[in-house]
Amino acid sequence: MRSDHGYLQLFQPLLTAVLIAFSASVPAEPLLIGVEDDWFPYAAFKDGIVQGMSVDIVKAAFAATDTEIELHPYPYPRCISMVQQGKLLACFNTAHNAQVASNHLLPKMPLFSEDVLLWARAAQAPQVTDVYAALKGKKVAVTIGYEYGTRFDTNQQVQRVAVRKDLYGFLMLQKQRVDYSVAYRGTAEQLFRDHPELAGQFTAVATIDQPQLFLSFSRHNPAAPAVVERFEQGMQLIHDNGRYQQIIQQWQPSTTQ
């Protein structure tokens, strides 16, 4: 009869392999996650801290599974670039389109959805019935690195004028250097509150899209699949226990779901 010690020796390599695989799938905490630094009220480095509606959602989802995270603010293009290189585990907020889905691991649940609006000067706002016909050949201010929904992002008939911030797009529109500016509803309305001199100068003439926005994970970080699963569990928990809706309500009327 084989002794207990003999059985242990026999199965030791298998046990070791299982433990190594399990350890590799569960990353060391705290998890390092990038967050856009200038997209309030959703995510921004403001008053010395990272804050916003989606910041609260991400924190709550990971807290629900007792997962420690550290949020590091970056300009959005840099944040996404670091995720694609595997230097960051994840970044938010990322609007879904085909390229994003190809380059990132996306959870099943979005953080939220929001209207992307086409903005014109209020004094010269056209009647827009067919938005893409209206955009043909027009100069439209867009923020570098932002996604606005698949149809707009892949449209080749729009003359995009790239700017570093939404604010600069509206300033170009104010000075008639572009025909339109594209911006998300919540961030544009917050911008007008932060800059009262811009209030009343612009009007939304069409809805470009209503994309879902995600915490997007790196395809080049081996820990990502396990963390996606953990995040999805947390998102389900905060939807079920009412914490998600509580966060949405706390940020209203600054945002729309």
Q: What is the pLDDT of residues 173-199, one digit of tens each?
A: 999 999 999 999 999 999 999 999 999
Are residues 80 and 94 in contact, defined by beta-carbon separation less than 8 angstroms? yes
Q: What is the pLDDT of residues 125-170, one digit of tens each?
A: 998 989 999 999 999 999 999 999 888 999 999 999 999 999 999 9
How many angstroms separate the Cα of 165 from the Cα of each of 1, 94, 146, 172, 183? 75, 16, 10, 11, 10
In angstroms, the CA 111 to CA 213 distance is 6
In angstroms, the CA 221 to CA 116 distance is 31
Q: What is the pLDDT of residue 210?
A: 93
Six-digit token string for 47 = 């008053």
- Chain centre to alpha carbon of residue 171: 24
Domains annotated on the chain, with CATH: 29-111+213-251 (3.40.190.10), 116-209 (3.40.190.10)
Q: What is the pLDDT of residues 16-69, one digit of tens each?
A: 444 444 444 556 679 999 999 999 999 999 999 999 999 999 999 999 999 999
Q: Which of 83, 92, 97 shows the shortest CA–CA distance to 112?
A: 92
